[in-house]
Amino acid sequence: MKKLYIIAISSVILASCGGDKSVDDLIASKDLKEIRAKKTELTTERQELNAELKKLDDAIAELDSIKNYPLVTTINVKDTLFKHYIELQGSVETKQNVLVYPEMAGTLLRVYVKEGQKVRKGQLLATIDDGGMSSQVAQVEAQTQLAKTTYERQKRLWEQKIGSEIAYLQAKTTYEAQENALKQMKSQLAKTSIRAPFSGVIDDVIKEQGTVVAPGVQSEVFRIVNLDNMYIQTEVPEKHLPNITAGKDVEVYFPVLGKTLSTKVRQVGNYINPNNRSFKIEIPVPSNGGNIKPNLTAKVRINDYTNEKAILIPQSIISENADGDQYVYVTTEKDSKNLADVARTTIKTGLTQGDYVEVLDGIKSNTSVIEEGARSVKDGQKVEITNKK
């Protein structure tokens, strides 16, 4: 098309010079007046020709059905639910995972439970040789019973004003002392029985029957675990303190099990660790049929922000100028030929989640935003929208 324009211009110039002296002849004549006149004539003719060419270009642009416009796709943004999560690491813990130690030295006479067995709180797990203490307790019980009978008789006599007060007081003192001694001995004898401190499962039987045991380190006999009250404890950076409260929704993923469960924050710590500027939270988790166990690694996603009517757009379509302002390109409503005008819009963004970012200002619901081709268009340009139906 441009070649045709050049040929046309050349033809007009040549025709204008055909009946008169040629430009070379005018230059050779060195007649300044005629040279200037010829230049003015040609300039006027060129301006008239350019005006005619512009009219032809406008007509071609309007009538040409195969003109190439930049091809783009758009997304029509809508109000949508937006949940932002912070992601942390944690591990499963339980406050009822303890080692059971003997309270008295002696031989482990009998073990009544085995590994994996469920036990109730207070259930007898094992007994230790009492070294004859049970016989001593029986003897003290007999002495206590005698002291009680003596005291009761002296009391009745004293109430009838028979006998001396000192005899009554001595009987009372003897009985009380004997009773206290019996309680103390029974308490000591009870230490020869190892009982479950809470309901749970015997995870490990550490000492076998016949082993000599004693109170102290490395003398544990059993490990008992309760999986009914497990939780995940994790540390949260202090910048999230205003948004992390008890009752916040949490998604917990266990990579080893390939399972995700929903729960809530149970407790938020009241202390900021000065070493890493974080605070602790507790998140309860069910045993899930026994698959979830203490020390199991977990990925925790805590919902710290929710907007039920958020405007979300892909991060990939956002551009930024030298001043740090973020912007996107929006389009007007497309015509019958899927053509639309482009406008650059400055936006203010909020939180991001995955590949999407929340737009706080600059775009409203039902706005058409350019997605594919956003990096190659300009403000005020006309484009062809090629969205798939």
Q: For 78-113, what is each residue's pLDDT tens digit?
A: 999 999 999 999 999 988 888 999 988 888 889 999
Architecture of the domain spanning 71-84+308-385? Beta Barrel (2.40)
pLDDT level of residue 370 (50, 70, 90 thresholds): very high
pLDDT value for 64: 63
With beta carbons less than 8 A apart as the criterion, state whether 86 and 301 touch. yes
Length of the chain: 389
152-158 contact pairs (CB < 8 A, 24+): none
Is pLDDT of 343 > 60?
Answer: yes
Residue percentage of the chain with pLDDT more than 70: 93
Q: Are strands 71-72 and 382-385 parallel, antiparallel or unpaired?
A: parallel
For residue 324, pLDDT over 80 is answered with yes
**For 95-192, where are the E strands, in sequence order?**
97-100, 106-111, 118-119, 124-128
Q: Cα separation of 276 and 278, whole Å?
A: 6
Question: In whole angstroms, how far apart are CA 235 and each of 124, 251, 351?
Answer: 39, 16, 21
User: For 108, phi and psi rounded to 5 degrees?
Assistant: -75, 100
Q: Which of 65-69, 272-276, 322-326 has the lowest mean pLDDT?
A: 65-69
| Res. 303: pLDDT tops 90 | yes
Note the CATH number of domain 99-224.
2.40.50.100
The stretch 210-238 carries a mean pLDDT of 89
3-class DSSP state of 53: helix
Which secondary structure element, helix H or strand E, spans residue 153, and what is its range?
helix 133-159
Least confident stretch, 162-171, 257-266, 298-307? 162-171
Rounded (to 5) percent helix, strand, coil in the chain: 30, 35, 35
pLDDT of residue 20: 61
pLDDT digit string, tens, across residues 118-154: 999 999 999 998 888 888 888 888 988 998 998 888 8
Q: Which CATH number fits domain 88-95+226-304: 1.10.3720.10, 2.40.30.170, 3.40.50.620, 1.10.260.40?
A: 2.40.30.170
Higher pLDDT, 247 or 162: 247
Angle at 335 between CA 331 and CA 339, to 5 degrees: 55
Closest CA to 193 of 96, 111, 99: 111
Confidence of residue 67 (pLDDT cuts 50, 70, 90): low
Confidence at residue 159, expressed as pLDDT on a 0 to 100 scale:
84
Between CA 155 and CA 168 the distance in angstroms is: 6
Tell me, yes or no, if the pTM score tops 0.75.
Answer: no
pLDDT score at 251: 94
Q: Is residue 65's pLDDT more than 70?
A: no
- 166, two tokens: 């000192």
What band does 18 get if pLDDT is binned at 50, 70 and 90? very low
User: What average pLDDT does range 199-219 have in this prediction?
Assistant: 89
User: Dmax over Cα atoms in the chain, in whole Å?
Assistant: 171
| Sign of the torsion formed by the C-alpha atoms of 196, 197, 201 and 203 | negative
Query: Regarding beta strands 124-128 and 106-111, do their DSSP bridges make them parallel or antiparallel, or are they unpaired?
Result: antiparallel
Q: Where are the domains of the chain?
A: 2-63, 71-84+308-385, 88-95+226-304, 99-224
